[in-house]
Amino acid sequence: MKRRDFIQKVVSVSALSGAALALGKYRNLFAGEPYMNHLPYDMVAIKGGEPDAMFDKAIASLGGMKQFVKPGQTVVIKPNIGWDAAPERAANTNPILIGRIVEHCKMAGAKAIYVFDNTCNEWTRCYKNSGIEDAVKKAGGIMVSGKSESYYQAAEIKKGKILKNAKVHELILQSDVFINVPVLKNHGGATLSVSMKNLMGVVWDRKYWHDNDLHQCIADFATFRKPTLNIVDAYRVMKRNGPRGVSVADTVLMKYQIIGTDMVAVDAAAARVFGIEPGQVKHITLAESMGAGTSNLDKLSINRISL
């Protein structure tokens, strides 16, 4: 499907719903679908604006951030901050978008809003040079390090086929609301890096995933802790040399965002925006087969917005 067809085509079906299950001492660890069950759409796809303006419009069409964040709750936001790179390289999530998400969470009444990533490059430089640290602090959020093993707690991946255990950052286990904000980009090992791949940044030992069937490990973890909301940054997209990229020449200014509660569906839509079919991304197919979500966009109610 061409990108213009993806935005223009309108289909509808009832939204998926489910319940959060408490496991062990971590009362907010989701084993099923997120708790929202009365959203007007399954997904929003928006194009043509700046990151903050697109998010304002998209989240409003879902009923606002109050649908996902309740007064007094704690929120963890997980962008991609893996690389020591300026925003125009599109190796990391756009800082303007992250700052605006923090602002919406505050307006919804969140008690505290934490932002972190287990970075690939030196973490303080990644936080600073991505522009995300400054954007988060200005918006009233709290940056937290992901580079100390003491922050990670052992967890069982009950449905995992290869990834059966992982040390997971305590913020993911303990926060009331988990917002996953990947940047859409090419990835040499995973084909694409989007929502499910972005979750590698919430575990301590990423090397195990790379050494033991990366696609299956991504799919395995997608069955463990499903985000409350996934917001795909496709404003500037790295089309080659991912995940780090070499220069701005590796990127294309696309001005898209995709928002939804189903990681598999969101990643399938992102694949089409990128210019490939979901079936070309092995972990999307694997995650769907394991019950983590659907890649069949024709069965979803999608609000397509052009600014």
Asked whether 83 and 119 are in contact (CB, 8 A), the reply is yes
Strand pairing partners for 254? none
pLDDT in tens, 190-246: 999 999 999 999 999 999 999 999 999 999 999 998 999 999 999 999 999 999 999
State yes or no: pLDDT of 32 exceeds 60: no
pLDDT of amino acid 31 = 34
Residues in the chain: 307
Question: How far, in Å, CA of 145 to CA of 294, rounded?
Answer: 33
Residue 154: pLDDT band (50, 70, 90) is very high
Amino acid in the structure at residue 157 = I
Question: How far, in Å, CA of 38 to CA of 16, rounded?
Answer: 9
Query: Which of 17-31, 37-51, 249-263 is least confident?
Result: 17-31
Percent of the chain, pLDDT > 70? 88
Between residues 123 and 34, which one has the greater pLDDT?
A: 123
Per-position b or e across 57-70, b if 16+ CB within 10 A of its CB: bbbebbeebebbbe
Average pLDDT over residues 135-148: 97
User: If DSSP states are collapsed to H, E and C, what string results for 81-96?
Assistant: CCCCCCHHHCCCCCHH
Both tokens of residue 90?
């599109």
* Average pLDDT over all residues of the chain: 90
State yes or no: pLDDT of 9 exceeds 80: no
pLDDT in tens, 116-137: 999 999 999 999 999 999 999 9
Q: How many separate domains does the chain show?
A: 1
State yes or no: pLDDT of 15 exceeds 60: no
Average pLDDT over residues 41-48: 98
Question: How far, in Å, CA of 119 to CA of 82, rounded?
Answer: 4
Q: Is residue 2 situated within a structural domain?
A: no
pLDDT of amino acid 225 = 84
Residue 16: pLDDT band (50, 70, 90) is very low
pLDDT of amino acid 5 = 43
Q: Is residue 184 situated within a structural domain?
A: yes
User: If DSSP states are collapsed to H, E and C, what string results for 107-119?
Assistant: HCCCCEEEECCCC
Average pLDDT over residues 237-266: 97
Residue 37: pLDDT band (50, 70, 90) is low
Question: How far, in Å, CA of 54 to CA of 305, rounded?
Answer: 9
Q: Is residue 267 situated within a structural domain?
A: yes
pTM for the model:
0.89
Residue 27: pLDDT band (50, 70, 90) is very low
Q: Is residue 5 situated within a structural domain?
A: no
Instruction: Give the CATH number, domain containing residue 35.
Output: 3.40.50.11440
Q: Which of 141, 145, 135, 127 is nearest to 51 (CA)?
A: 135
Per-position b or e across 91-119, b if 16+ CB within 10 A of its CB: bbbbbbbbbbbbbbbbebebebbbbbbbb
Percent of the chain, pLDDT > 90? 87
State yes or no: pLDDT of 107 exceeds 90: yes
Asked whether 208 and 234 are in contact (CB, 8 A), the reply is no
Domain span holding position 143: 18-306
